[in-house]
């Protein structure tokens, strides 16, 4: 087994993003170290046995401008390799950087492009279906709605799409992050 040199722990990565993102948004995104850290996803953060060959990871701080809801995702290559369609496990950071959600979520862009005005209703219907029918899940996760402050950001439908696409999640508060082992185990679950 190849051993990776871990730069940060999962806990440290999440804490850095929650702490620094708001200030970094005031700077240019091009060449920004925090934006690069987000884009790198969980590479060099979690063990290879967690990601494995069937999974890939990446994140987004935005394209050309800073994202309202930055994210880091893990994609099962057999389902999807993009956050735009399919299902993924994703860390969604609230716009105020007070919370991050570990979420089993859906690709919002697919719904938006295919269903237009019905997109919110369709993605929510699929979320409800899986909340009621998915038998294998961690007891740590729940189907409580996530709050990405979509009521504040009327110029973007991404926060609301992510909120409605949530199937199950765990909410971590900035000042109450659990230790790294607990966070890694939750991700593994």
Q: Could you read off the pLDDT of 167-181 as tens digits, one per residue?
A: 999 999 999 999 999
> Among 144, 79, 66, which residue's Cα sits nearest to residue 107?
79
Average pLDDT for the chain: 87
Q: What are phi and psi of 159, to 5 degrees?
A: -55, -45
pTM beyond 0.85: yes
Banded pLDDT at 2 (limits 50, 70, 90): very low
pLDDT digits (tens, 9 = 90+) for 85-129: 777 889 999 999 999 999 999 989 889 999 999 999 999 999 999
């Amino acid at each position: 087994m190849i051993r990776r040199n871990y730069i940060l722990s999962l806990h440290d990565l999440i804490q850095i993003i929650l702490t620094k993102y708001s200030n970094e948004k005031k700077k240019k995104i091009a060449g920004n170290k925090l934006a690069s850290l987000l884009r790198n996803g969980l590479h060099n953060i979690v063990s290879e046995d967690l990601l494995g060959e069937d999974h890939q990871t990446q994140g987004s701080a935005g394209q050309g401008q800073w994202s309202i809801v930055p994210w880091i995702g893990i994609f099962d290559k057999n389902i999807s390799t993009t956050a735009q369609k399919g299902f993924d496990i994703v860390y969604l950071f609230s716009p105020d950087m007070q919370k991050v959600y570990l979420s089993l979520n859906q690709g919002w862009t697919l719904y938006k492009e295919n269903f237009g005005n019905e997109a919110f209703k369709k993605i929510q219907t699929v979320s409800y279906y899986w909340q009621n029918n998915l038998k294998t899940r961690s007891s740590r996760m729940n189907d409580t709605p996530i709050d990405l402050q979509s009521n504040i950001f009327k110029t973007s439908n991404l926060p609301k799409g992510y909120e409605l696409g949530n199937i199950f999640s765990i909410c971590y508060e900035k000042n109450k992050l659990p230790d790294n082992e607990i966070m890694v185990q939750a991700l593994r679950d």
